[in-house]
Amino acid sequence: MPTYRNELPQLSGDFFLADAGLETDLMFNQGIEIPDFATHTLLPQPKGREALARYFRKYLSLARDRNVGFILETQTWKAHMRWADDLGVTADDLIESTRDSVEFIKELRAEFSGNAGPIVLNGVIGPCGDAYAPEESLSAQEAEDYHAQQIGWLAETDVDMVSAFTLTQCDEAIGIVRAARAVELPAVISFTLETDGKLPTGQSLEEAITAVDEATGQGAAYFMVNCAHPTHFSHILEDAAWSRRIRGICCNASSKSHAELDGSDQLDDGDPVEFGQQHKEIREKLPWLNVFGGCCGCDFRHVAEITQALFPDQQP
């Protein structure tokens, strides 16, 4: 039975951590192969499953030591039909992977049941197309029809919420929110931004958030930004109605563009200390932000530096 589905604790404003760049950390720092960035494929392998457990235990321990909450995510960003042929799997295989991923994070939550802060189980979904360069635009109805399948799979598990990460189009976000509301599952929308602070479609973040809220009656639990460096969007942030809908950020370690990152075969992990300070500057602009993690190129160091920069007096 879901623990927090009817009342997400992060909406109270308390501080929550998330993990960092799972795929890039495992691949570049630990030498673990992940087919097509689909981390759910690691779960059936004992070594892969243990690598995932070691990864998440570090962040859960940090949350424990800092007495804060944690958003614990499934490995299902690519566990949907768009990637089935590439991965050589069926819908039934993806359903089983989804259930296995939820059971995996449930076991981790039980292992850290002594944490003072809540541990929220988050079902992760990804965009229908390429997260850096969408091949085609989706209407809101097309997106709702497509994402309803994966959201339905997650709704039948014990996840507390779903989060759609690295979205490039507001119509796709609208469809996701509608599909989640249909099964009474709280949904978080996280857009990715280019170096100019706009979505890959050229739409501003303000326009995208406003459009999703208007089309869904503020149906999203809240919004986030991920897979963008702090310098890409800090300049557009202001105290306004649209920005108050943003609660979290999971940034890239590198300030390179998506095109540059996509064409690189080396990891750019940036400067973790500077990264932490950049998050402090963003939170000074938007002091209601309370969910922080990392994305591509980030590892445990980056999230630890974010925590230290935001709460220097709260020693482990």
CATH number belonging to domain 15-310: 3.20.20.330
**pLDDT (tens digit per residue) in 163-190:** 999 999 999 999 999 999 999 999 999 9
Q: Give 3-state DSSP helix, strand, coil % of the chain, rounded to 5.
A: 45, 15, 40
**What average pLDDT does this structure show over 61-83?**
97
**pLDDT (tens digit per residue) in 96-123:** 999 999 999 999 999 999 999 999 999 9
Residue 315's pLDDT is: 53
**What's the mean per-residue pLDDT of the chain?**
95
Model confidence at 266: pLDDT above 90: no
* DSSP assignment letter at 60: H
Q: In this structure, is the dihedral angle defined by the CA atoms of residues 294, 76, 187 and 161, taken in order, positive or negative?
A: negative
Every domain of the chain and the residues it spans: 15-310
3-state SS, 63-78, equals: HHHHCCEEEEECCCCC
Q: What percent of the chain has pLDDT over 70?
A: 97
| Among 311, 227, 236, 313, residue whose Cα is nearest residue 276 | 311
Q: What is the CA radius of gyration of the chain?
A: 18
**What average pLDDT does this structure show over 224-237?**
97
Residue 137's pLDDT is: 87
- Banded model confidence at residue 311, pLDDT cuts 50, 70, 90: confident
Residue 31's pLDDT is: 95
Residue 314's pLDDT is: 58
| Predicted TM-score of the model (pTM) | 0.96
Q: What percent of the chain has pLDDT over 90?
A: 91
Model confidence at 264: pLDDT above 80: no
